C-alpha cells in the first residue's frame, strides 16, 4: 500500500511538469522546424518530444531533492528563482546538445571527424536563440512553482479557477 501511495504521489507530482514541458517543447519544436525546413533539416518527432518532456520533468523533480538546489535557503525568493532557472537551463542545454550530437555518432567515422561535422552542420545562432527561449521558459516555470510553494496550491487554485464574488 505504501508503494502505491508513493507511486501515486510521484505520478501526480510529475504530470503537471510533464504537461507544461510537453506543450512548451512542441511549440518550440514547431518553430524550430519551420526555420530549419529551408535547410532541409526535419524537426523532432512527437515521440522524441514526449521523451524529452518526460526526461526533463523527471530530471527537475530529482534535482529538487538534491542539496545543491536549496543552495540559498535564507535568501529572498528571487535568489531561488534565478538559481533554479540557471540550473535547469544548463541541464536542458546538455540534453539538447546530446540530442543533436547523437546522429553524428553513428556515421562510422572517427570521433574527431564526427565532432567536426557536428560543429559545422549545427545552426549555432538558431541553437542559441532557441536556448534563450528555454531560459525564459524555465524562468516562468520556476517563478510559478516557487510562488505556488509559498502561497499554497489551494489558494492558487481558488484564485485561478473560482469566482471572486
pLDDT at 108: 67
pLDDT, average across residues 117-132: 80
pLDDT at 86: 92
Instruction: List the chain domain ranges.
Output: 2-161
Distance of alpha carbon 94 from alpha carbon 123, whole angstroms: 16
Q: For the chain, give the DSSP string.
A: -HHHHHHHHHHHHHHHHHHHHHHHHHHHHHHHHHHHGGGTPPPPPHHHHHHHHHHHHHHHHHHTTSTTTTS-TTS-HHHHHHHHHHHHHHHHHHHHHHHHHGGGGGSSS-HHHHHHHHHHHS-HHHHHHHHHHHHHHHHHHHHHHHHHHHH-HHHHHHHHHS---
pLDDT, average across residues 113-133: 78
pLDDT at 103: 72
pLDDT, average across residues 67-80: 81
More confident residue, 36 or 91: 91
Mind listing the pLDDT tens digit for each residue in 2-59? Answer: 888 888 887 777 888 888 888 988 888 888 777 777 666 667 788 888 888 888 888 8
Q: Where does the pLDDT of residue 123 fall: very low under 50, low under 70, confident under 90, or very high at 90 and above?
A: confident
pLDDT at 136: 92
pLDDT at 91: 83
User: What is the Cα 97 distance to its own chain's centre?
Assistant: 13
Question: Would you put residue 122 in left (φ > 0), alpha (ψ -120 to 50) or beta?
Answer: beta
Mind listing the pLDDT tens digit for each residue in 77-86? Answer: 899 899 989 9
The single residue listed with the C-alpha cell 517563478 is 143
Amino acid at each position: 500500500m505504501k508503494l502505491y501511495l508513493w507511486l501515486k504521489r510521484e505520478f501526480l507530482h510529475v504530470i503537471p511538469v510533464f504537461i507544461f514541458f510537453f506543450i512548451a517543447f512542441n511549440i518550440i519544436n514547431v518553430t524550430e522546424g519551420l526555420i530549419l525546413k529551408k535547410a532541409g533539416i526535419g524537426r523532432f518527432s512527437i515521440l522524441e518530444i514526449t521523451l524529452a518532456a518526460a526526461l526533463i520533468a523527471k530530471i527537475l523533480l530529482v534535482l529538487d531533492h538534491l542539496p545543491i538546489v536549496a543552495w540559498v535557503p535564507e535568501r529572498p525568493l528571487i535568489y531561488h528563482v534565478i538559481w533554479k532557472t540557471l540550473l535547469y537551463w544548463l541541464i536542458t542545454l546538455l540534453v539538447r546538445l546530446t540530442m543533436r550530437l547523437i546522429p553524428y555518432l553513428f556515421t562510422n567515422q572517427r570521433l574527431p571527424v564526427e565532432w567536426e561535422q557536428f560543429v559545422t552542420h549545427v545552426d549555432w545562432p538558431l541553437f542559441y536563440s532557441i536556448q534563450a527561449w528555454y531560459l525564459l521558459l524555465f524562468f516562468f516555470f520556476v517563478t510559478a512553482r516557487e510562488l505556488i510553494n509559498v502561497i499554497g496550491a489551494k489558494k492558487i487554485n481558488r484564485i485561478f479557477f473560482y469566482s471572486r464574488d
